[in-house]
Chains A and B, each alone.
Chain A
């Protein structure tokens, strides 16, 4: 089945120790998104790639970066995690045909990150 896969599902890291989260998709979608979702809150968009074009949200901390080496994979790098970065990180994809924000987004299962 076509899907969005995230690895690892759970990640524990030390304060300040860099961490990388992975997302892959078999949907062949043009757009890949990264969201942060804290407990009992709405998902918050960090950035997205439209094909190779990177789009950063204005309020995304510089500590968060992303790479998309090919259509299928996208990575979230947190350079120096702080305690406040403990959250669920969600990857999503959409076709990207036409008006991007109105595309249906399909989410992966998420990576629960804990910073100690």
Chain B
């Protein structure tokens, strides 16, 4: 069965302290990987789609990378407004989400 696992569950960072979130997957024939950001009490907001190993996408302080078995979301010099839950998801028969990593950035 296809699985998406995110780690760590929670990440507490000091403002400016760069870090990475992991999304590992076990699928046969990956057709893409999505990253979403979800603020408390709101719906997920689309960030990136990655389609093939080696691909990278950037948006402000966020950079997503993809290998054959996992994806990383790198947060460079985070600010408090980057605090959110970050979800990754893979589209197979349906969009399967990981449980997310909750990032808290302290000023």
Contact = CB atoms under 8 A, between A and B. Distances in A.
B32 interface: yes
A87 interface: no
Contacts of B91: 101-103
Contacts of B92: 101
B41 A110 contact: yes
A101 B97 contact: no
Nearest to A92: B43
B44 interface: yes
Interface string B32-58: 101010000111111001000000000
A4 B36 CA distance: 16
B44 A107 contact: yes
B31 A99 contact: yes
A90 interface: yes
A109 B31 CA distance: 27
Contact of B43 (A57, A90, A103, A104): A90
B78 interface: no
A4 to B, nearest CB: 8
Contact of A107 (B31, B32, B43, B94): B43
B95 A40 contact: no
A82 interface: no
A4 B44 CA distance: 12
Contacts of B49: 104
A19 interface: no
A114 to B, nearest CB: 13
A43 interface: yes
Interface of A: 4, 6, 40-43, 45, 57, 88, 90-92, 99, 101-110, 112
